[in-house]
Amino acid sequence: MSASTALDTLLGLKKVLDSAIEEVSAEWKAHGVPASLQDPSFTAQSPEDTLPSPRLYEATKRALGAADMLQALLRDPRDQLMACAAQYFESRALHAASIARIPDILHQASLEGKVDGLSAQELSQKTGYEENKCGLHSFHSRIMRLLATNHIFNQTGPARFSNNRTSVALINNAPLASYIDLYGGEWYASSQHLIEAFKDNSLALERAAFTRDRIYNSQGKTYWDYNDVNSARHDMFATAMSGSAQTNLFALLNDYPWDKLGKATVVDVGGGIGALSLPLLERYENLSVVIQDRESVIEQAQEHWKINLPAAVEDKRATFQVADFFQQNIVNGAEIYMLRYIMDDWNDEACIKILSAIKASMTHQSKVLIVEALLIPAWLPPSAISTLKIAPEPLLPNYGSPQRFIHCRDLNMMNLINGTERTASEMTSVVERAGLVLQKVWECRGAVHVTECVLPSST
């Protein structure tokens, strides 16, 4: 790492910010300027409309990384540490607002002509949250003013709030709200056991922090068992999975060359309800899909497709199989075996078994597509430069803040199921130990990558 002074870094960040802002504004002018941050008007924008051009995506990453690094540089280190320690209260406040559906309530108020939003008292009446819980200032005022300070909601008066561009993303958006509710609810609750889990050298599923919580684990159940016995939660999890994909779905549909596959079968291994394969079939008519999962999930998937893409079920472009991905795949010689958000659920040994079970059914025309984020750390070996885009100095090589969520997700994987996000070299090692070759990493306009693997040419 080159030793640079704080002043070098400050001026370097100015340069990065200046050029990134220049590019962002040029792209906005060319392709459309988004709503202002304070704008509470809800337009049911198609997610595809929010897919940035490659240049805008890259410039935005630089701007975000530089702005975040600037805070670390300018803040008193003690303030930086205290702010980090207290940050979970922002998450708690968002959870409280989301679970009470405050964005929908404020949206309804705006439709009724209340352009300045609602008072904390009115919000209390509509949500049942105790108005004077904390004395003079109502509970709502307190959670909402914290969120408004974090650019989620507008504060329009001493105790009055309206939606802003960020909070409108939650209007009528049950999938995203479910994802936020899982993070703020049971995933948050189990994270209190993380320190105990850190001290345990077992990577077994049932030893994860989640299963240490006796509320969930009275009979030694794992996360997936718990999902199965609680039907409301089971549905919520499936919905949340599609919510988690909202910002990267269209990047995945556009940035991998699905159209070059021709007439091909995609086996969606551990496919859930097919949150990616359904829009894939909608867009690419040469593709057909086989969704494989556990029995309870396959029932859910069939229902989901019957409602959302019945034609594909009727003409058998979409078929469904109960299958255990630790056993040899029952579809031989498919062009694509897709593993989306699967590898990060499991430790290396389990992933090697999952890949080997697919490998046994592959031909030399088959590919395994691992669709999940590759974790990019704040230090990268020179070899990574050929695989991944590296940020310019003085930014961290992984751009910093654009990678923060994936690092949080990594800890959550450990929290729930002793799973892990992987770096490019960790992924390469698992793939090679399973006897496959990592052919290419497709960087998409979002945190999720498509890692393409094939059989070695000698087999």
Ligand X SMILES: C[S@@+](CC[C@H](N)C(=O)[O-])C[C@H]1O[C@@H](n2cnc3c(N)ncnc32)[C@H](O)[C@@H]1O
241 binds ligand X (CB under 6 A): yes
Interface residue with ligand X among 88, 89, 198, 326 (CB under 6 A) is: 326
Point out the residue whose Cβ comes nearest to ligand X. 272
Q: How many residues bind ligand X (CB under 6 A)?
A: 17
Report, in Å, the least distance between residue 354 CB and ligand X.
8
Among 57-65, 115-123, 292-300, 425-433, which window interacts with ligand X (CB under 6 A)?
292-300
293 binds ligand X (CB under 6 A): yes
- In b/e form, how buried is each residue of 236-252, taking b as 16+ CB within 10 angstroms? bbbbbbbbbbbbbbbbb
Report, in Å, the least distance between residue 196 CB and ligand X.
24
272 binds ligand X (CB under 6 A): yes
343 binds ligand X (CB under 6 A): no
370 binds ligand X (CB under 6 A): no
Report, in Å, the least distance between residue 295 CB and ligand X.
9
- DSSP state at residue 51: P
Report, in Å, the least distance between residue 400 CB and ligand X.
27
351 binds ligand X (CB under 6 A): no
243 binds ligand X (CB under 6 A): no
253 binds ligand X (CB under 6 A): no
Strand order through the sheet with 160-162: 118-119, 160-162, 154-157
Does the N-terminal peptide bond of residue 394 adopt cis geometry, omega within 30 degrees of 0?
yes
Rounded-to-integer distance, Cα 321 and Cα 319, Å: 7
419 binds ligand X (CB under 6 A): no
Among 102-110, 268-276, 309-317, 428-436, which window interacts with ligand X (CB under 6 A)?
268-276
- In b/e form, how buried is each residue of 337-358, taking b as 16+ CB within 10 angstroms? bbbbbbbbbbbbebbbebbebb
Report, in Å, the least distance between residue 343 CB and ligand X.
10
Q: Which amino acid is at 168?
A: V
340 binds ligand X (CB under 6 A): yes
Contact status, residue 118 vs residue 105, Cβ threshold 8 Å:
yes
Secondary structure tally for the chain: helices H, strands E: 20, 10
206 binds ligand X (CB under 6 A): no
| 3-class DSSP assignment, residue 300 | helix
Rounded-to-integer distance, Cα 104 and Cα 65, Å: 32
* CB-based contacts of 243, cutoff 8 Å, min separation 6: 173, 174, 175, 176, 177, 178, 179, 180
212 binds ligand X (CB under 6 A): no
270 binds ligand X (CB under 6 A): yes
Among 114-122, 182-190, 266-274, 432-440, which window interacts with ligand X (CB under 6 A)?
266-274
Report, in Å, the least distance between residue 341 CB and ligand X.
4
DSSP secondary structure of 368-407: EEEEEPBP--SS--GGGGGTS--PPTTS-TT-SGGGHHHH
What torsion do the CA atoms of 149, 152, 158, 159 make, to the nearest 10 degrees? -130
What residues line the site for ligand X (CB under 6 A)? 224, 241, 270-272, 275-276, 293-294, 297, 324-326, 340-342, 345
